[in-house]
Amino acid sequence: MTLKIFFNITTFKRYNISTPYNIYNQFPTFAASNRLCMSEKILVIGANGQIGTELVAILRGIHGADAVIASDLKSPIYNLRKNSGPYEIVNVLDKDNLHHIFEKHRPTQVYHLAAILSAVGEQKPKIAWDLNMTGLLHVLDFSVEFNVKKVFWPSSIAVFGPHSPQWDTPQYCVMDPNTVYGFSKLAGERWCEYYFNKYNLDVRSLRYPGLIGWRANPGGGTTDYAVHIFHEALKSGHYECFLSANTALPMMYMDDAIRATIMLMDAPADKVEIRSSYNLAGISFTPTQLAEEIKKHIPGFEISYSDNDPRQQIADSWPKSIDDSYAQNEWGWQLEYNLPKIVADMLLNLRELV
């Protein structure tokens, strides 16, 4: 599979890609099947976030820097300035501003990543709903108007709730989220499927688990402890976790999440049978299990646990593990990073930054 060849290269090079030139020269079969990538014009909205900073680098590696327009509410963060290419200041709630960006660039693909996440959303519920829902509808409307070929929008395990099966949560089951973030993601899934059915808009989506990565900071979610713990382990040798010791949640390394996103967007349309959002499992572990794995690399590391953090209630309503067999069977998804591999790679890279 040509896509897997590409990601093997980028995994070893740690995403340090400036142009696709070397990839095409080294792997002629990849080049022959991907020349059409160079004709794409891709808009990434929310590019300064945890996912966006890494996704932009990969997309520019595939399609060329000038073909990928990064955009966000504020100026580009360091990772995007370093990986130069077009950048726009955009507010998805400003309909005229967003329309201008679509009209100016005429994107063939859109990745709409802008959102307020679970923990922050509970502090600002109406603002979170407005950004997460109104922003999505603006993107969907303009994608129809400007004949965008493909749209990616991330959903989340937050669409599930206290009455969803907690272990191996299936693709189709009771979904009763109890956070504003979860409400907005569940409603967003229905809108995405609606626009596919009514307007033939090719919208694709993944229900991300908690995401772990070292290149950018997380943005205020309930699973953020699984990133913070590495920074504190290296800085002070101690971390106070806001979730209880035995809170199991599904997590995924960012390398896998980006690879899954590109695989889904690269899949033939007839292989993408789910137009709401695909379950994506990752691996499940508790704070205690993560701490024990870190101790194998930092023997003196200690973890403690805070009481009565409001994020605990959110975590308790979410699945402990996910069944992503539809993604595996329909477009060939396979996880690569287990817990030992995640911990080793996080510490290896963060030691150079902390």
DSSP state string for 111-133: EE-----HHHHHHSHHHHHIIII
Catalytic position from the list 15, 24, 172, 181: 181
* Rounded Cα gap, residues 184 and 132, in angstroms: 6
Residues 6+ apart with CB under 8 A from 310: 119, 122
Region for 126 from its dihedrals, namely left if φ exceeds 0, alpha if ψ lies in -120 to 50, beta otherwise: alpha
Contact between residue 42 and residue 107 where contact means Cβ atoms under 8 Å apart:
yes
Annotated active-site residue 181? The verdict is: yes
The torsion angles phi and psi of 116, rounded to 5 degrees, stand at: -100, 125
**What is the token pair recorded at 262?**
């590109």
* Rounded Cα gap, residues 116 and 219, in angstroms: 8
Residues 6+ apart with CB under 8 A from 165: 173, 174, 319
* Rounded Cα gap, residues 313 and 273, in angstroms: 33
**Catalytic site residues?**
181
